[in-house]
Structure 1
Amino acid sequence: MDFFSIPFLIVKASWWIITPLILFSVAKKSYLYWKQKLYIDKLKCSLLEVRLPQEVFKTPKAMEYVLAGMHGVWDELNFRDIWVKGEVLPWFSLEIVGTEGAVHFYIYTQTKLKEFVKENVYAQYPDAEIEEVEDYTEKLPMNIPNKYWDLWGTDLKLMKENPFPIRRYMEFEEIEEERRLDPIAQIAEVMNGLGRGEHMWIQTIIQPATDMNQLKKEGDEVITRLMKRDMKKSPGMVGGGMKSMQGELGSFLSLMLGMPQGQTEEKQERMFPPEFMLSPGERDVVKAVEEKTSKLAYETMMRFLYIGRSDVFNKANIPALFGFFRHFNTFNLNSLVPNSKTLPKKSFFAFKNTRGYFRKMRLFNWYKYRSTLPGNISTPFLLNVEELASLFHFPGQTVKAPQMTRVLSKRPSPPPGLPIE
């Protein structure tokens, strides 16, 4: 029998089992998508703009507490909630927007939760001014890209597994406000330089992780793997010398204790805990993973767009967006990188221009509808409240962009005992 005919014979004999399983899986996903879309389409949502005065001495730690408070919308969904109602956990969209030189900070939420969001923001930023505003995406044509408008953008993903953290705000901080570094300053300056007909949008969609312990479980697996890694790999020149010394020591101990040499080596391994076998850099990685998995996490989707009229569209602005996210990348831990499946680059294959056009149109629609449905090519990844606060927070005095929308004066507090109707 021909070797290459074996797979064909297997499929021929088992198609009646495989085919229903595949069809059931497809039907299950399609049904869930349909039910969730019906549920989401009925929801009313609001866009809140947050403005703060210049004199704000708050670090991103305040935003971390805001996000931890907003995580309170988490609830356990049962079978009926998911498969009959199509219910999904509430989500939020954190958006940094540059519109023709002006910089805005928005939080998109379900209308029934807007007071809940305001309370969490006011708790940490009592001088903030929060106003429900018109959706800025509605001010542009719905059919972008077209003859008069062009865009470029991408979805982002984590380079490594969820438990490995990106660079966090503590690594940018200094004790003195004037020496404190803030990556928001860089992107605010770029947005401040946008001309008429240019727009730059950064969107971070967050939804409490369905399984509260998912990140902790994944982190435990990573730590176990790091702590019990294969120690029999090539030791190198220095490691080889050390192993030779260990071998001689083992031989000496075996003679002194009257036991076989193999047992001595096993006893030596038991004498040294796994953490003692890690390099200083590896210990830092384990510590960072433990720190990330100890905090509340959100399922996250991130994307950015640069949109401009065709006559002013400037591709030189695109590297600035990548530069903003490079602030949070590290080689030993994790990085935010483009999802190549969403990049609107031209393909080397057939219909290369058409494929680029549809990718741009798809990106614009995904951003506009702020959807968390599983129909997107990008899959959510897990970031904790500390990482999210690093990526999205309201800037203090260190950010001097002149077109940053701010409150001209602090919001006065009402006198105590004021009667309320």
Structure 2
Amino acid sequence: MLPKNKVLLLIRIPQEIEKRVLSFEQLLVNIHEILHHHVVAFEVTSYNQHIYFFVCIEKNLKELIEGQIYAQYPFCEIEEVSDYVKPDVLDRGFAGTELKLLRSDIIPIKTFKEFEGDSLAGIFSVMTKAQEEEQVWVQVFVEPVADDWKLNFIRSWKMKLNNFKLYFRFKNYFKMSSAKSMREMEKEAYKHKADHHTYLTAIRLAFVSTNKEKAHQKLSVLVKAFLQFNT
């Protein structure tokens, strides 16, 4: 259920708007610069066989976040709505999980720029196939992390540790020249990721169906749709 100090905003963006992805990237940059120690939840849900996009934030940040969204999407519609999560879902078939990284968080995952088509097409494909009585929830929680010496110190040690692991991982399979080339590629990937603002992030998924067995089966399909972002 939605906490009393939170508000849920339904965002409607016209489909014909171009460069929506770049606009969202800029939105993340702006949010990082103005919010500190606050969590913002970006949520995509499928229910009644329609897909909706929400932003969940603290009530006192409502106008601030609305202003940032309108700045990137001037023609969007924002409406405060009640929580789409109802208590009775737990009495039905419910399955949920939280995604975890298999490798260090300094290693970047694929971004939308590395896909030939829509990077979210696989996820939306699963969500649009939900039946009328089913619901799909994708919730991404982000909290800005200050770009200070602590972050840089931790990041530096993680890079050194990961390079040490890479050395022993590669040397048994490649010639040293090839292993060195692979390490240099990953080093460049680290630097590219470090050029962007950092967020603490959690991704939670849930599927509501007619029974638990079906919910777990369909949740596993949704999880697999995220594997395309592996590097």
TM-score (norm 2): 0.84
Q: CA, structure 1 residues 159+110, in 2 after alignment: closer, same or farther (shift >3 Å)?
A: same
Runs (5+) with no aligned partner, structure 2: none
- Counting only pairs closer than 5 Å after superposition, residues 129-208 of structure 1 correspond to structure 2 as 129-138=77-86, 140-141=87-88, 144=90, 146=91, 149-172=92-115, 180-208=116-144
Q: Residue 162 of structure 1: SS of its match in structure 2?
A: coil
Whether 1:72 aligns to 2:33 is: yes
Which whole-Å deviations, capped at 9, do the CAs of 1:257-298 have from their partners, x for residues lacking one? xxxxxxxxxxxxxxxxxxx99622211110111111222111
1:46 aligned counterpart, secondary structure = strand
CA distance in 1, matches of 2:123, 2:168: 47
Distance 1:278 1:47, change over 3 A: same
Q: Equivalent residues in 2 for 1:112-131 (5 A)?
A: 112-131=60-79
Alignment of 1:294-373 (within 5 A): 294-310=195-211, 313=214, 315-330=216-231
8 Å Cα contact 1:198-1:313 kept in structure 2 = no
Q: Give unpaired runs (5+ residues) of structure 1.
A: 1-40, 76-88, 173-179, 243-275, 331-421
Does residue 1:216 correspond to 2:152, yes or no?
A: yes
Structure ID, larger Rg: 1
Give secondary structure in 2 for the equivalent of 1:222. Answer: helix
Structure 1 residue 46 displacement after superposition: 0.8
Look up the SS of the partner of 1:301 in the other structure. Answer: strand
Q: Which letter does structure 1 place at the counterpart of 2:70?
A: Y
Q: Is the 8 A contact 1:163 1:222 kept in 2?
A: yes
The alpha carbon displacement at 1:60 in A equals 2.0
Residue identity opposite 2:228 in structure 1: H
1:302-324 CA distance string (max 9 Å, x none): 21011123399455422331122
Structure 1 residues 277 and 127: CA distance shift in structure 2, 3 A: same
State the 1:226 CA deviation: 5.8
Contact 1:163 1:215 in 2 (8 A): no
8 Å contact from structure 1 (residues 203, 304) kept in 2: yes
The amino acid across from 1:90 in the alignment is H
Shift in alpha-carbon separation, 1:124–1:235, aligned structure 2, 3 A: closer
Q: Is the 8 A contact 2:30 2:68 kept in 1?
A: yes
Q: Name the TM-score, length of structure 1 as normaliser.
A: 0.49
Q: CA deviation at 1:123?
A: 1.6
| Residues 311 and 65 of structure 1: CA distance in aligned 2, closer, same or farther (over 3 Å) | closer
How many angstroms apart in 2 are the aligned matches of 1:280 and 1:166? 19
Name the Cα RMSD after superposition.
3.2
The number of residue pairs the alignment matches comes to 229
